[in-house]
């Protein structure tokens, strides 16, 4: 299709303007506000005990959630692609559920399930804190990040098929050896991509986590919760900007990592 020059230019301006106003302006604004008083102020603000604790908690949740998602994600993807069982269609739909359900609903559901009066309330009553503790936040994050590894690994498994695995079997490899030496290396890029998405989502999760966290600064606040409480409860606007910048920094590192890996994948 041939488009006249003025039309083309207008379209470009509209598209770029849309992106700038929607994505770039807010991010730049926060960066500007953060570094306006100088880098020292930023460092001071993210080195308070509450901020360090929040960073640690966020990273701890990521460190627990990623391995669990890798193991169960790969297992689920294998079952979905290779399995021939009843209810495969149902499983397919269930995996996508976290995309459809609002995180805040997840939080409420978790309280109803694990809270003192819930079905699994006996755990809470026996003294093991799930809701308003780390386990609750981990479960909430697991829920919202569950689809990423599955959905990234699944198409790769489809693409590689089963011939390489059959060849390994005829060459004497046990199913365990075949998985480690053939299947896992073949899906490693899809898996990496899934992990990166999981990390980004786990760091940024807010709605589900705020419902199941007690929200004490320095104890049970993740970075997102810290931004929220500094801004709304403490009226510490600058502190909120600084924490947000830290959060963005982590996200940007993850994103860069993903881009580098993606480039590496396409050159191979």
Partner 1 sequence: MITVSGARKSYGDFTALDDVSLEIPPGSLTALLGPSGSGKSTLLRAIAGLETLDSGRVAIAGVDVTGLPPQKRGIGFVFQHYAAFKHMTVRDNVAFGLTIRRRPKAQVRAKVDELLEIVGLEGFQHRYPSQLSGGQRQRMALARALAVDPEVLLLDEPFGALDAKVRADLRRWLRRLHDEVHVTTVLVTHDQEEALDVADRIAVLNKGGIEQVGNPVDLYDRPANDFVMSFLGSVARLGGLLVRPHDIELSRDRAAAVAADRSVPGSPGVIDAVVERVVRLGFEVRVELRAHTGERFAAQLTRAEADALALRPGDEVHARARQTQDVLEVDPALAI
**Residue 68 or residue 169: which is nearer to partner 1 going by CB?**
169
DSSP 8-state secondary structure symbol assigned to residue 181: I
Taking the complex as a whole, the smallest distance from the CB of residue 187 to partner 1 amounts, in Å, to 10
Taking the complex as a whole, the smallest distance from the CB of residue 188 to partner 1 amounts, in Å, to 8
- In contact, 138 and 130? CB cutoff 8 Å: no
DSSP 8-state secondary structure symbol assigned to residue 153: H
- In contact, 50 and 215? CB cutoff 8 Å: no
Taking the complex as a whole, the smallest distance from the CB of residue 158 to partner 1 amounts, in Å, to 15
Taking the complex as a whole, the smallest distance from the CB of residue 208 to partner 1 amounts, in Å, to 37
**Residue 10 or residue 177: which is nearer to partner 1 going by CB?**
177
Using alpha carbons, list the distances in angstroms from residue 7 to 1, 14, 20: 12, 11, 20
**Residue 102 or residue 174: which is nearer to partner 1 going by CB?**
174
Show the binding pattern over residues 188-207: x = contacts partner 1 (CB under 8 A), - = does not.
Answer: x-------------------
Please give the helix or strand (H or E) that residue 189 lies within, else none. Answer: helix 188-204
Spatial distance between the Cα atoms of 141 and 28, rounded to a whole number of angstroms: 28
Number of residues that bind partner 1 (CB under 8 A): 17
Show the binding pattern over residues 152-191: x = contacts partner 1 (CB under 8 A), - = does not.
Answer: -----------xx-xxxxxxxxx--x---xx--xx-x---
Binding residues for partner 1 (CB under 8 A): 163-164, 166-174, 177, 181-182, 185-186, 188
């Amino acid at each position: 299709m041939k488009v006249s020059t003025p039309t083309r230019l207008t379209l470009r301006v509209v598209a770029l303007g849309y992106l700038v106003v929607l994505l770039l302006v807010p991010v730049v604004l926060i960066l500007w506000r953060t570094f306006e008083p100088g880098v020292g102020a930023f460092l001071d603000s993210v080195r308070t005990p509450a901020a360090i604790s929040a960073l640690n908690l966020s990273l701890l949740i990521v460190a627990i959630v990623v391995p669990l998602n890798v193991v169960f994600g790969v297992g689920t993807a294998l079952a979905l692609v290779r399995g021939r069982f009843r209810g495969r269609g149902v499983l397919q739909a269930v995996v996508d559920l976290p995309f459809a359900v609002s995180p805040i609903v997840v939080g409420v559901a978790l309280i109803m399930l694990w809270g003192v009066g819930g079905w699994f309330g006996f755990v809470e009553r026996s003294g093991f804190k799930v809701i308003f503790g780390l386990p609750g936040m981990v479960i909430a994050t697991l829920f919202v990040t569950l689809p990423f590894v599955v959905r990234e690994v699944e198409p790769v498994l489809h693409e590689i098929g089963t011939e390489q695995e059959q060849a390994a079997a005829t060459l004497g490899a046990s199913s365990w050896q075949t998985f480690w030496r053939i299947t896992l290396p073949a899906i490693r890029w899809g898996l990496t991509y899934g992990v990166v998405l999981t990390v980004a989502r786990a760091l940024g999760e807010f709605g589900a986590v705020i419902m199941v966290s007690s929200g004490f600064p320095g104890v049970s606040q993740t970075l997102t919760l810290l931004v929220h409480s500094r801004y709304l409860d403490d009226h510490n606007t600058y502190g909120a900007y600084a924490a947000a910048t830290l959060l963005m920094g982590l996200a940007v590192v993850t994103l860069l990592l993903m881009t580098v890996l993606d480039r590496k994948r396409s050159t191979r």
